[in-house]
Amino acid sequence: MQFQKETSEASVSIKAYQPGSIKLNIGSFESPVFLVNGELHEFDGATIFEELTAEKLVLNIREKPEILIIGTGAEHQMLSVELTKIINKMGVAVEAMASRQACHTYQVLTFEQRRVSVLIYP
């Protein structure tokens, strides 16, 4: 089996996650983190997952990613059907998962050079 080092051209990468905190290569965050194609963007939306609405999310998606991952916190929570439909109509695939899994999935897709965005709630 051959191993190869994975490299990414992303300027911001996720280093660690623990409930309540997300560690990036540029610092630690205790509030939602929104990464778009390897760059940190300000998220002008809900501070907790339960308050996330389609309207708040759509306002923050300026660059259409191929995939939008939402880390819902320590536990997996479901996206509303309404939110999923609105994001899908924009031509963006959206998936919600626990934040630990969202961090991992984002890193893998970034290494594959996919157009991916992630919103992670600590």
SS3 label, residue 107: helix
- Is residue 1 scored above 60 in pLDDT? no
Per-domain boundaries in the chain:
31-120
CATH 3.40.1230.10 corresponds to the domain 31-120: yes
- Are 24 and 5 within 8 A, CB to CB? no
Q: So what's the pLDDT on residue 7?
A: 58
Question: How does pLDDT run across 65-110, given as a tens digit for each residue?
Answer: 999 999 999 999 999 999 999 999 999 999 999 999 999 999 999 9
Helices (H), 28-121: 54-60, 81-89, 99-111
In sequence order, the β-bridge partners of residue 22 are 17, 29
Across the range 47-53, mean pLDDT stands at 95
- Are 99 and 17 within 8 A, CB to CB? yes
Q: So what's the pLDDT on residue 20?
A: 96
Task: Report the chain's C-alpha Rg in angstroms.
Answer: 14
